[in-house]
């Protein structure tokens, strides 16, 4: 899976001044600020102190795998800046549940070729619980997520069009619309893979194909099982490269928005089926 997908579970949120028309409890707000500070300075041990020993994540991350993933992430990207606004929060017994939107930007560290620039946005829900006088994150769920990597002087601007959630086995439109003029030669590909804790930084070989004007237009086929999938599009032209992706949740309890409006001009869509889900390694 693309490295950018890892952003979903690893970056804490700094609270906005208000949430759900009420001030966020000061202790929770301060905890989130301290998490922000530790992550910005890449102080791994201090950061992990804000995660409960039994920490769980909807992508399968545990506290141990989180530690490993953070090390890999920080080895690849530098100058990661992020800004978060809290959408809502609620208290349930002795727990606080915070939903927030995070925007992240950063640059790849030294690379053989031109380094990639990262831009990501995700909505997450975090559960905080108190232990030994300290608030910790015990659970995190990613609700929505998009991310983009660009390299070059003039990478194509790409708009992904696909639903956030779709019913099992259902078809849906899956488009990556680029701003490339007709005279620009462009190649690309689009693919789907499961989100797993073991697959964040696995490299993937992709066969690129010449594209018609406008981008990539496909009909996606959801798998017949629930889960989170990462849909990625790669578009390459003379001026640069754009890799963009979006999280797609497959659910048996929802139909989802099958088809978003298609552009007026463009090639006929072809069918793309999901890849076989990988089994997380032990």
Domain termination site, one of 128, 146, 164: 146
**Residues 176 and 194 occupy one common structural domain:** yes
CATH number for 102: 3.10.450.50
Q: Which among 146, 163, 192 is the end of a domain?
A: 146
Instruction: Provide the Cα torsion 91, 37, 74, 232; round to 10°.
Output: 40
Reading the block at residue 150, the tokens are 């660009």
Note whether 214 and 250 are same-domain residues.
yes
Query: Residue 31 has what pLDDT?
Result: 85
In terms of domains, do 224 and 176 share one?
yes
Quickly tell me which residue has 């990988």 as its tokens. Answer: 278
Give yes or no: residues 63 and 25 share one domain. Answer: yes
Q: Are residues 18 and 44 in the same domain?
A: yes
Burial of 191 (0-12, 13-18, 19+ CB in 10 A): middle
The structure tokens 């462009």 sit at: 186
**pLDDT confidence of residue 229:** 93
| pLDDT tens readout for residues 9-29 | 444 444 443 444 467 888 888
Residues of the chain with pLDDT under 70: 1-22, 110-113, 180-183, 198-204, 256-282
What is the structure's pLDDT at 33? 84
Residue 281 forms part of a structural domain: no
Q: How far is the CA of 276 from the CAs of 168, 196, 273, in angstroms? A: 14, 12, 9
Using the Cα atoms of residue 107, residue 108, residue 112 and residue 114 in order, give the sign of their dihedral: negative
Give yes or no: residues 8 and 141 share one domain: yes
Q: Which two tokens stand for residue 146?
A: 């998009």
Do residues 189 and 230 share a domain?
yes
Residue range(s) defining the domain that contains residue 70: 3-146
Give domain status of residue 278, yes or no.
no
């Amino acid at each position: 899976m693309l490295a950018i997908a890892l952003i979903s579970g690893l970056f804490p949120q700094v609270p906005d001044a208000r949430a759900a028309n009420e001030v966020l409890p000061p202790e929770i707000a301060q905890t989130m600020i301290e998490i922000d500070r530790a992550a910005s300075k890449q102080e791994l041990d201090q950061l992990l102190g804000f995660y409960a020993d039994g920490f769980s994540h909807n992508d399968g991350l545990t506290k141990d795998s989180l530690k490993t993933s953070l090390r890999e992430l920080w080895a690849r990207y530098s100058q990661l800046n992020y800004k978060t606004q809290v959408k809502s929060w609620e208290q349930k017994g002795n727990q606080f549940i915070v939903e927030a939107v995070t925007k992240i930007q950063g640059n790849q560290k030294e690379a053989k070729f031109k380094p990639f620039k990262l831009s990501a946005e995700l909505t997450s829900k975090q559960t905080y619980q108190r232990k030994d006088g300290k608030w910790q994150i015990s659970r995190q769920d990613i609700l929505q997520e998009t991310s983009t990597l660009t390299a070059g002087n003039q990478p194509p601007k790409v708009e992904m069009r696909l639903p956030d959630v779709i019913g099992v086995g259902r078809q849906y439109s899956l488009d990556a619309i680029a701003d490339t003029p007709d005279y620009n030669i462009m190649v690309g590909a689009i693919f789907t893979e499961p989100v797993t804790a073991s697959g964040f930084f696995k490299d993937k070989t992709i066969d690129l194909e010449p594209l018609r004007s406008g981008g990539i237009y496909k009909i996606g086929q959801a798998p017949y099982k629930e889960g989170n999938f990462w849909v990625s599009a790669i578009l390459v032209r003379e001026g640069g490269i754009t890799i963009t992706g979006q999280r797609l949740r497959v659910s048996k309890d929802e139909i989802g928005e099958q088809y978003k409006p298609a552009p007026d001009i463009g090639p006929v869509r072809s069918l793309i089926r999901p890849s076989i889900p990988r089994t997380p390694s032990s």
